[in-house]
Every structure is written in C-alpha cells, then in structure tokens.
C-alpha cells in the first residue's frame, strides 16, 4: 500500500483528531494572512499617503502672531516668492476671517451657556479660506471628509463647502447660496455690502475636544476660497495677509537645504514670528501615531509568526509521538522512514488546503478587526501623552487647534493574492519543519527500538 493510500485511509479513520488539526491550521492560517495583509496595507496606504510627499510648513512660531483671532502676517508677495523657488512643486495657503450669516443660522451647541452670544455675534461663523481644500490638514488626517459636491480649488471665487450638520440645520444643499455679512469683529474695509457665496460641497467630521461655544463647532466653520475670506476681512486686492502656507517640494529637493536657503534669501517674512518646519507642528501627534502604528504592526507580525510556528510544531510533534507504534509497525514491514514521513506530510497538506481556503475568506475580516483595535489603542496612547504634556492645560475645540489631538483613525486592510501566497509559503514551511522536528525520534530509532520503547 502506497503512502498516498495510507494517508487517505488515516484521514477517513481519525475524524476527531483530524478536525482538531484542521481547526488549528485554519486558525493559524487566518491569523497569518490577517497580519500579513495588515502589515502590507499599513505600509502601502497610510505611509504612502502621508509621508512620501516632501512638505514644508510656514507657520507662526507662537500663538500671539496676528490679532489674537487667528489672522496672520504673511503677505502674498512672501508666499509667492517662496512658491517660485525651483524646488517647490505647489503650495497651499490659508487666510482666516469671520462672517455673519444673513440667510442662515449657526448650529446650536446644545447648552444655553455655550449658545449665548451678545448682540451681533449671535450669527457669527468662522470662514477659513484655503487655496486647495483637499490638501488641508483636516482632510488629510481624516478629521474631515467630503460627502458630496467638490473641494475648493485654485481659481474659485465666492465658493464655500459647509458641514453636513450646518446644511441640515438650514435645509441647504450643493448649489444653494449663502449671504455672508462682512467680518463683524475685525473688518478693516469700507464696503459693507454682504457677499453671495455658492455652496459647492458638503463635508462631515468632528473634533476630539468638546467645544464650549457655538463658534468652536466645526459644524459652524465654512471653508471657502481665499478670495472670499480676504474680502470678508476687508483686505484690498493683492494685500491679503495669510496665516499659514504648506509647500510641497519636488522629490529631488533637499528639505533642510531648502529651508536654510529660504531663510537666507527671503526677507519678506518676519522670521522672528514665523518658522519653516519639515513637519507641521499641528500634525506632530498624527505623524507620531503613524510611527507607533508601524512599530505595533511589526511586533504583531513577528509575534504571530513565532506563535504560529510554536503551535504548529507542538501539534505536529504531539501527533507524531502518538503514532510511534504505527510507525514502528510500518518500519518492521519494510517501509522506509522517508516513506512514512511523506505520508505524514501528505496528510497535513490535505488538511491544510481547506484550512487555507477558510483563511482566505476570514483573513481580511480578521485583519480589519486587528487594524481597528490597533488604531484605537495607538490613538489612546498618543492622546494620553499629549494631555500629560499639557499638564492640565485645556486646548480650544476649534478644528485648527484640535489638529494637535488628531491621530490616524482608520485604514482599510486590503487582502490580495500576494498575502495569500505568502501565507501558503509560511504555513507550508512550518508544516514541513514541524514534521521534520517531530520525526527526529522516528529517524534515530530502529523499528525494534520503537516497538520496545512503546510496548
């Protein structure tokens, strides 16, 4: 009788034991494919999206820059001068303003204390002008996401995107018009004619910190083109002062050399109040969460492979030891040791194949579960460290300030044939190694010694 026939007979006779082996194979294989898919998705999605592009942020070096309401001191000339540097591929600028709503109402915060605003401030909302809203940090970190319409792009004029809560509260949709009164707090112009702005998009999202006032609500923040925000503030054409700019550099650029060169050659920026940084200070926690996710996923991958190896090897050793008598009889009947090992390998492969099929079905779901738990754990760790560093100091809950608390919230685990093939190779290798280790007694004893040992 060939080892193939013996393997098939054994699988039919030992149903319970084989079911246990199949279950363990399926569990190990599912875990392996899950962490492999997780590791691949982590490096391929999150890291590619946020770390490959070289960016330099021009931002205030302290909170007292401007008028205390978020305005800036960066001139258009300064931004353009840096933007024309040969190492710059593109840049995003932002300008801040307030506006009073003429034909809409702010979303209430839910408490009478927070909703109270004296006089003409009851209808005030934030208007944040962004040259390209899709590249705004709040969207790239996942704090906000577009649900309908389109983003603000360069060249737009009198366009806004609004929060879904604001749209629902005022029964607004894409294409509707908002009438915005000029900045009631710091307007510096003379023309007080309200401005008509078209809603071109609706976004969703929320901040981590709980707001105390209605104007801190991200729901009451309008994202606009820079022209609209500038006109609401009262800046004359060409004299807008910006609060921040982010420059995307060409891949060939040396970031440190670029920063040093700009500081030496550009004298239109007050370098006592502003700084150029490789990493946006507001995104420190977000980038730290990426690094921590990388380390956690790497440890999870290594730990899963080691645990899987131990479980499989112990299982195969147990199965082999329990069949020493059977092996001794086969050796006494003239079967070679390699023939017996081939039978054991074939039996386990026939059990592993359907287990691999189960793993291919469960792997992505299990991997996504691992990803969600890892993201939550990392977020809690990073935010706890931030709160500890603040020493009890309370941050504002507006969306720009709340960027300090942002971490990676989610990434989608993608299961590909590559992860399945890697899992097949790893599992097959572990099975072969396990059987070789389990067969050491079989290879070292003679048939008589085996039968005597177990009699």
With beta carbons less than 8 A apart as the criterion, state whether 157 and 198 touch: no
Query: For residues 273 and 281, what is the distance between their CA atoms, to the nearest angstrom?
Result: 15
In this prediction, residue 215 has a pLDDT band, given cuts at 50, 70 and 90, of low
Query: For residues 451 and 321, what is the distance between their CA atoms, to the nearest angstrom?
Result: 13
Query: For residues 329 and 340, what is the distance between their CA atoms, to the nearest angstrom?
Result: 11
CB atoms within 10 A of CB 336: 11
With beta carbons less than 8 A apart as the criterion, state whether 71 and 109 touch: no
Query: For residues 312 and 309, what is the distance between their CA atoms, to the nearest angstrom?
Result: 5
Query: For residues 213 and 117, what is the distance between their CA atoms, to the nearest angstrom?
Result: 9
pLDDT of residue 222: 95
pLDDT per residue over 249-295, tens digit each? Answer: 888 889 899 999 999 999 999 898 888 887 666 667 777 778 888 88
pLDDT per residue over 413-429, tens digit each? Answer: 777 777 677 777 877 77
Q: What are phi and psi of 186, to 5 degrees?
A: -145, 25
Query: For residues 8 and 349, what is the distance between their CA atoms, to the nearest angstrom?
Result: 12
Query: For residues 82 and 77, what is the distance between their CA atoms, to the nearest angstrom?
Result: 9
Query: For residues 366 and 86, what is the distance between their CA atoms, to the nearest angstrom?
Result: 47
Kind of pairing, strands 195-205 and 177-181?
antiparallel
Query: For residues 315 and 380, what is the distance between their CA atoms, to the nearest angstrom?
Result: 37
Query: Cβ-count burial of 389 within 10 angstroms (0-12 exposed, 13-18 middle, 19+ buried)?
Result: exposed
pLDDT of residue 114: 43
pLDDT per residue over 75-128, tens digit each? Answer: 999 999 999 999 999 899 999 899 999 999 998 876 434 444 555 567 888 899
Give Cβ neighbours of residue 252 (< 8 Å, ≥ 6 apart): 87
Query: For residues 81 and 79, what is the distance between their CA atoms, to the nearest angstrom?
Result: 5
With beta carbons less than 8 A apart as the criterion, state whether 83 and 247 touch: yes
Query: For residues 140 and 394, what is the distance between their CA atoms, to the nearest angstrom?
Result: 25
* Residues pairing with 125 in the sheet: 99
Question: CA torsion 93→97→100→105, rounded to 10°?
Answer: 60
In this prediction, residue 391 has a pLDDT band, given cuts at 50, 70 and 90, of low
Interior angle at CA 381, CA 375 and CA 386, nearest 5: 125
Q: Which of 176-180, 227-231, 377-381 has the lowest mean pLDDT?
A: 377-381
Give Cβ neighbours of residue 151 (< 8 Å, ≥ 6 apart): 132, 133, 134, 139, 161, 201
* Residues pairing with 129 in the sheet: 95, 224
In this prediction, residue 163 has a pLDDT band, given cuts at 50, 70 and 90, of very high
> In terms of DSSP H, where are the helices of 117-156?
137-140
Mean pLDDT of all residues belonging to the chain: 80
pLDDT of 455 over the 70 cut:
no
């Amino acid at each position: 009788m060939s080892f193939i026939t013996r393997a098939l007979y054994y699988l039919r006779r030992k149903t319970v034991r084989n079911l246990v082996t199949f279950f363990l194979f399926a569990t190990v294989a599912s875990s392996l494919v899950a962490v492999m898919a997780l590791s691949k998705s982590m490096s391929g999605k999150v890291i590619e999206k946020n770390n490959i592009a070289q960016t330099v942020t021009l931002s205030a070096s302290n909170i007292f820059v401007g008028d205390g309401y978020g305005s800036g001191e960066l001139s258009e000339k300064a931004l353009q001068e840096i933007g024309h540097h040969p190492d710059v591929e593109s840049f995003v600028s932002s300008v801040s303003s307030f506006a009073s709503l003429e034909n809409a109402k702010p979303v209430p915060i839910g408490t009478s204390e927070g909703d109270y605003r004296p006089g003409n401030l009851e209808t005030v909302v934030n208007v944040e002008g962004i040259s390209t809203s899709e590249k705004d940090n709040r969207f790239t970190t996942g704090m906000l996401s577009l649900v309908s319409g389109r983003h603000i792009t360069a060249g737009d004029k009198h366009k806004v995107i609004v929060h879904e809560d604001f749209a629902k509260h005022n029964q607004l949709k894409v294409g509707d018009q908002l009438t915005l009164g000029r900045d009631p707090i710091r307007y510096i112009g003379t023309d007080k004619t309200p401005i008509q702005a078209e809603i071109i998009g609706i976004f969703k999202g929320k901040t981590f910190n709980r707001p105390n006032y209605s104007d801190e609500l991200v729901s009451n923040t309008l994202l606009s083109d820079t022209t609209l925000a500038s006109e609401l503030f009262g800046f004359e054409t060409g004299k807008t002062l910006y609060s921040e700019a982010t420059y995307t550099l060409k891949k060939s650029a040396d970031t440190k050399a670029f920063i040093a060169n700009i500081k030496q050659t550009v004298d239109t920026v007050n370098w006592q109040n502003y700084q150029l940084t490789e990493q946006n200070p507001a995104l420190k926690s977000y980038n730290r969460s990426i690094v921590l996710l990388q380390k956690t996923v790497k440890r999870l991958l290594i730990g899963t492979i080691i645990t899987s190896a131990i479980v499989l090897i112990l299982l195969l050793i147990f199965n082999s030891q329990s069949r020493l008598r059977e092996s001794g009889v086969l050796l006494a009947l003239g079967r070679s040791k390699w023939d017996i090992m081939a039978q054991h390998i074939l039996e386990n492969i026939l059990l592993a194949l359907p287990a691999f099929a189960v793993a291919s079905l469960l792997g992505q779901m299990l991997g996504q579960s691992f990803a969600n738990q890892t993201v939550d754990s990392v977020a809690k760790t990073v935010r706890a460290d931030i709160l500890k560093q603040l020493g009890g100091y309370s941050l504002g809950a507006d969306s720009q300030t709340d960027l300090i608390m942002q971490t990676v919230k989610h990434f989608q685990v993608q299961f590909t044939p590559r992860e399945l093939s890697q899992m097949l190779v790893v599992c097959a290798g572990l099975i072969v190694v396990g059987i070789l280790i389990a067969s050491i007694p079989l290879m070292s004893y003679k048939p008589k010694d085996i039968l005597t040992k177990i009699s």
